[in-house]
Amino acid sequence: MLTDIATRQTYMETFFNPSSVAIIGATEKAGSLPGIILKNLLEMGFSGKIYPVNPKYKHVFGLPCFPTVLDIPDEVALTVIAIPAPLVLDVLKQQAQKRIRHSIIISAGFREMGAEGVEMEEKIKQVAIENNIRILGPNCLGVLDNYTNFTTSFLPWERVSKPKKGALSILSQSGAFAIALLDLAAQEGLGIAKMVNYGNRIDIGESTLLPFLMDDVHTKVIAIYMESVDHGRRFIEMAKACSKKKPIVVLKVGKGAAGIAAAKSHTGAIAGKYEIYKAAFLKSGIIEANGLEEFIDGVKALSMQNPPKGDRILIVTNGGGFGVIVADYCSENGLEVPPPSPPLKEKLKNKFSRFYVVNNPVDLTGSACDEDYRIALNTCMIESDEYDAAIIITLMAPQGMTEKVVDLVVETMKLSGKPAVICTVGGSFTMKIKQLFEDRMFPVYPSPERSARAMSMLLKRKILQGGTVHQIL
């Protein structure tokens, strides 16, 4: 194993930005995994050299095709292997002869299938160790790098939404979950930097990927779907170092007996006791999400907003009932909703109609207009230091509400230097407002409870960073 950090980073870079790649089993046959991988690479505009390998063809998608990797006249940086499991070992031995040091093994049918698969996997691992070959997989989708246009995914883009470039990187043992996250990210307006699905993880796993992502200029937030962990102590060390620079959000599955059994049959993972994981997450500064919805909402908030300095939350709404629900969920999620001080309350009264409720929540009522939001936020978040963050509810049905509210809210909150999340509920016009907010990096949620939980995730980040907030959520 390589210990030099610079060397390790160089090794890892090859999996995301190889100068050349050999696609083992490449074909134009419809539905073929290596064929789809090659087609996806071409469609994404990958700039490196591509070498199809298959003894049955002379050309694949217009590219010269070689019988084996040994027949390729040039150096090859990476192989992508997507052929039946029993054939993988021989290909890896040929790769060793050609001194190709990186491989992504897409092929399934190994440890997850039982004793015979375990034996095949161990032989592959031994060849890799003896020849200094680094392996991602097997039983995986491999990688997506949105900045180098490199992918080894075997799912066609017409079935999976290709996400825009962004700051979120995804690590996942489950291929299906990784793909679902890409789709959800596209729906939520979240940009993706990298995605890695490592499946059975015979070599490269979380402990190797975290230090790489820690130094990746495109990655701001790391999201991990976790059935098990590769190296317990090393993982804690790497996660602790990484979380000091970038937030890590984990969705841990396999908590109970049924989930542990399912994980073992899925990727051959030994999930272990959940209590141990929970303690490790706290020790290493990892934010744990409770379920898929919270996972998505949390990474979205962390990708778009900075953590608050404290737990004092201002709620501004033009629907009193929604404000009450948000306040309830804030209390459930470790957030304080303190009333304004008498001087601040008097200030608000002097600026607003007597029909408005100047408390916390600040209820602008159905008579609110765009400018009222600016006044409320400016008074409470800039002229006063009584609040650390804001949950802003913009119901767009009232006549006084227009697209202008986006500019006013965004500009005021940016001047305050404090984070905010938006809650808005409605139809097509509301969806347009959602898009406008998220284009400006303000996360929007379709329910009061989700907006409160998202703000709670931002606060957790501050707490785990060693902030001054007194609660442990």
Give me the CATH number covering residue 409. 3.40.50.261
What's residue 254's pLDDT? Answer: 81
Across 169-198, average pLDDT: 91
Q: Give the residue numbers spanning the domain of 270.
A: 160-304
Q: How confident is the model at residue 3 (pLDDT cuts 50, 70, 90)?
A: very low
Query: Within this chain, do residues 296 and 258 fall inside the same structural domain, yes or no?
Result: yes
Residues 235, 329: one domain? no
Give the domain-ending residue among 304, 329, 358: 304
Is residue 148 assigned to a domain? no
Q: Is residue 150 part of a domain?
A: no
Quick one: which of 24, 33, 46 has its CA closest to 95?
24
pLDDT tens across 371-414, in order? 999 999 999 999 999 999 999 999 999 999 999 999 999 999 99
pLDDT mean across residues, the chain:
91
47 in the same domain as 191? no
Name which of 182-191, 288-297, 360-369 the model is least confident about: 182-191
* pLDDT, mean of residues 94-98: 97
In a domain, 146, yes or no: no
Give yes or no: residues 22 and 89 share one domain: yes
Query: Which of 254, 279, 304 is the C-terminal boundary of a domain?
Result: 304
Q: How far is CA 218 from CA 46, 322, 380, in A?
A: 18, 37, 34
On the question of pLDDT at 265 being above 80, the answer is no
Does residue 277 share a domain with residue 206?
yes
In a domain, 472, yes or no: no
Same domain (yes/no): 269, 385: no
Closest among 321, 356, 351, 310 to 465, alpha carbons compared: 310
Assign residue 6 the CATH number of its domain. 3.40.50.720
Q: Which helix (H) or strand (E) holds 217?
A: none
Task: Specify the pLDDT at position 260.
Answer: 47
Same domain? 298 vs 324:
no
- 211 part of a folded domain: yes
Domain boundary among 304, 333, 362: 304
Split at pLDDT 50, 70, 90, the class of 8 is low
Task: Tell whether 177 and 239 lie within a shared domain.
Answer: yes
Q: Is residue 125 part of a domain?
A: yes
Rounded distance between C-alpha atoms, residue 302 and residue 261, angstroms: 32
Whether residue 218 is found in the same domain as residue 294: yes
Task: Answer whether residue 98 shows pLDDT above 80.
Answer: yes
The answer, yes or no, to whether residue 36 has pLDDT greater than 90, is yes
Within this chain, do residues 176 and 294 fall inside the same structural domain, yes or no?
yes
Percent of the chain residues past pLDDT 70, beyond the cut: 93
119/263 same-domain check:
no
Across the range 367-371, mean pLDDT stands at 95
Looking at the structure, do residues 182 and 235 belong to the same domain, yes or no? yes
Digit-coded pLDDT (tens) for 312-325: 999 999 999 999 99
Q: How many domains does the chain have?
A: 3
Can you say how many angstroms the Cα of residue 183 is from the centroid of all Cα atoms in its chain? 11
CB 358 within 8 A of CB 375: no
141 domain-assigned = no
Domain annotation covers residue 372: yes
pLDDT, tens digit, for every residue of 127-144?
Answer: 999 999 999 999 999 999
